[in-house]
C-alpha cells in the first residue's frame, strides 16, 4: 500500500514538473514572438514615417552640410525654397527621395531596435520601480481605472533613460548604414552626376578609399546625441501620457479606445520629436560634418568632435550649427507623430497573430 502511495506521489510530482516546464517553455516562446512582433512593427513604422517626410529631410540635410552647390557668400542664408528648386533642377523630382532606399535599409533595423528595446528597458524599469512587469494584456488595461493607469506610468527620468539607452543601442548597431545615408543625401549631384549610387556602393567606396574605420566617422557625436535625443523624445511622450492618461473603455467601445490611443500617440510623438530635435540639433550638425569629411567633393578635414566644433564656430559662428533647424522642426513633427502612431496601430493590429 505504501509502495503504491509513493508511486502515485512520484507520478504527481513528475506531472507537476512537466507542466511547469511546458508553461515556462510556452512563456519563453511567447516572449520571443512578442519581441519579434514589436521589432517588425517598429521597423515598419519607421519606414512609413521616413518615406513620407524624406523630401523635407533631404532639404534639411543639404542645408545642414552646405553641400548644395548654390554659389553664395558665407553670410547669406539659403532658403528651403532655393534648395528645393536646386534639387529639382539638378536631380529631378526623384531627387527629393534621394537616399530613401538607404534610409529604409537603415531605418528598419534602427527603429525596430529603438522601439522594441525601449519597450524592453521600460519593462525592466517598471519591474524595478513598481515591482511588477509593464507587459500587461489589453483586457487588464481596460479593467484598470484611470487613476491606477496614471500611477503606473513611469517617472520622466526613467522614461528618459529607457529611451536614451534604446537610442544608443540602435545607433551602435546600425551606424555604417547611417553614415552611408548621410553621404548620399548630404550632397547634391553636380550637373546630374551623383557622387554615390546607393547604400552598398557608398559603403564599399568608403571602405576601399578611406579604410573600414571610416565607416564609423562621426559615431562619437552620434552616440552622445542618441541618449538625449531618444531620451527627450520618449521622455516627453512619457510626461504627456502621465499628464493625459488614456480613458477607460468597456468591451463594446474598445474600437473607440483604439482610435483614441492612436491619436494620442500621434500628438505625443509629434511633441516629443520637436522637443528632441530642437535641443540636439547642433550636435547633429557636427555629426553630419564629420560624416562627410573625406568623401568625394569635400575638402574640409577635422581631427575629431571638438576640432570640428572649434573650426566650424571660428569660421561661421553659432548660426552655422542651426542651419536647417526650421525645416527640421517642420519635418520632425509629422515624422515622429507617424512613427508613434503607426507603431501603436501595427502593434494592436498584430496583437492576436503571435
Q: Average the pLDDT over 197-203 and give the result.
A: 81
pLDDT band at residue 348 under the 50/70/90 scheme: confident
The confidence score (pLDDT) of residue 165 equals 93
- 11 vs 56, more confident: 56
β-strand partners of 269: none
Burial class (CB in 10 A: 0-12, 13-18, 19+), 123: middle
Q: Average the pLDDT over 160-182 and give the result.
A: 89
- CB-CB contact of 223 with 287 (8 Å): no
β-strand partners of 190: 193
**Least confident span in 63-72, 151-160, 305-314:** 63-72
Residue 334: count other Cβ atoms within 10 Å of its Cβ: 17
Q: What is the three-class DSSP state of 193?
A: strand
Q: Average the pLDDT over 336-343 and give the result.
A: 89
Residue 260: count other Cβ atoms within 10 Å of its Cβ: 14
Cα–Cα distance measured from residue 25 to residue 283, given in angstroms and rounded to the nearest whole number: 45
Report the alpha-carbon angle 204-208-209, nearest 5. Answer: 120
Tell me the angle at which helices 100-130 and 219-243 cross, rounded to the nearest 10 degrees: 60
Q: What is the three-class DSSP state of 190?
A: strand
* pLDDT over 70, % of the chain: 75
pLDDT band at residue 288 under the 50/70/90 scheme: confident
Cα–Cα distance measured from residue 117 to residue 129, given in angstroms and rounded to the nearest whole number: 18
pLDDT band at residue 218 under the 50/70/90 scheme: confident
The confidence score (pLDDT) of residue 296 equals 66
pLDDT band at residue 24 under the 50/70/90 scheme: low
**pLDDT tens profile 68-82:** 667 655 556 788 888
Q: Average the pLDDT over 39-49 and give the result.
A: 90
**pLDDT tens profile 292-335:** 887 766 778 888 889 999 999 999 899 889 888 888 888 888 88
pLDDT band at residue 199 under the 50/70/90 scheme: confident
pTM confidence score: 0.66
- 195 vs 65, more confident: 65
Q: What residue has cell string 517588425?
A: 40
- 221 vs 29, more confident: 221
Q: What is the mean pLDDT of the chain?
A: 78
- 182 vs 191, more confident: 182
**pLDDT tens profile 95-150:** 888 878 877 887 888 888 988 888 899 889 988 888 765 544 444 434 444 344 44
Q: Average the pLDDT over 236-242 and give the result.
A: 87
Long-range contacts for 196-200 (Cβ within 8 Å, ≥24 apart)? Answer: 196/295, 196/296, 198/101, 198/102, 199/101, 199/102, 199/105, 199/106
Long-range contacts for 271-274 (Cβ within 8 Å, ≥24 apart)? Answer: 271/236, 271/237, 271/240, 272/232, 272/233, 272/234, 272/235, 272/236, 272/237, 272/240, 272/336, 272/340, 273/233, 273/332, 273/333, 273/335, 273/336, 273/337, 273/339, 274/329, 274/332, 274/333, 274/336
**pLDDT tens profile 256-285:** 554 567 888 888 889 998 989 888 899 889
Amino acid at each position: 500500500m505504501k509502495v503504491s502511495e509513493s508511486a502515485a506521489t512520484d507520478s504527481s510530482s513528475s506531472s507537476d514538473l512537466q507542466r511547469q516546464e511546458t508553461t515556462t517553455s510556452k512563456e519563453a516562446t511567447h516572449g520571443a514572438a512578442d519581441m519579434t512582433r514589436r521589432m517588425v512593427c517598429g521597423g515598419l513604422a519607421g519606414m512609413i514615417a521616413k518615406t513620407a517626410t524624406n523630401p523635407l529631410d533631404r532639404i534639411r540635410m543639404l542645408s545642414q552640410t552646405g553641400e548644395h552647390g548654390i554659389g553664395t557668400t558665407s553670410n547669406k542664408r539659403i532658403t528651403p525654397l532655393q534648395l528645393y528648386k536646386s534639387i529639382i533642377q539638378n536631380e529631378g523630382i526623384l531627387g527629393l527621395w534621394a537616399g530613401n532606399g538607404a534610409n529604409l535599409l537603415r531605418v528598419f533595423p534602427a527603429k525596430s531596435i529603438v522601439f522594441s528595446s525601449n519597450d524592453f528597458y521600460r519593462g525592466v524599469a517598471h519591474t524595478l520601480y513598481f515591482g511588477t512587469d509593464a507587459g500587461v494584456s489589453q483586457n487588464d488595461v481596460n479593467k484598470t481605472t484611470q487613476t491606477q493607469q496614471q500611477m503606473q506610468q513611469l517617472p520622466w527620468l526613467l522614461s528618459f533613460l529607457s529611451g536614451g539607452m534604446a537610442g544608443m543601442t540602435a545607433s551602435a548597431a546600425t551606424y555604417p548604414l547611417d553614415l552611408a545615408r548621410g553621404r548620399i543625401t548630404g550632397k547634391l549631384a553636380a550637373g546630374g552626376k551623383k557622387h554615390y549610387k546607393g547604400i552598398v556602393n557608398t559603403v564599399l567606396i568608403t571602405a576601399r578609399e578611406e579604410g573600414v574605420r571610416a565607416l564609423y566617422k562621426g559615431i562619437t557625436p552620434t552616440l552622445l546625441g542618441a541618449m538625449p535625443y531618444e531620451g527627450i523624445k520618449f521622455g516627453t511622450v512619457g510626461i504627456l501620457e502621465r499628464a493625459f492618461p488614456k480613458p477607460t473603455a468597456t468591451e463594446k467601445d474598445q474600437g473607440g479606445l483604439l482610435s483614441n490611443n492612436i491619436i494620442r500617440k500621434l500628438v505625443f510623438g509629434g511633441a516629443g520629436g520637436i522637443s528632441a530635435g530642437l535641443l540636439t540639433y547642433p550636435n547633429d550638425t557636427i555629426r553630419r560634418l564629420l560624416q562627410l569629411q573625406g568623401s568625394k567633393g569635400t575638402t574640409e578635414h577635422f581631427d575629431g568632435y571638438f576640432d570640428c566644433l572649434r573650426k566650424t564656430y571660428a569660421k561661421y559662428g553659432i548660426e552655422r550649427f542651426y542651419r536647417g533647424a526650421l525645416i527640421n522642426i517642420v519635418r520632425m513633427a509629422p515624422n515622429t507623430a507617424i512613427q508613434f502612431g503607426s507603431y501603436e496601430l501595427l502593434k494592436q493590429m498584430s496583437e492576436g497573430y503571435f
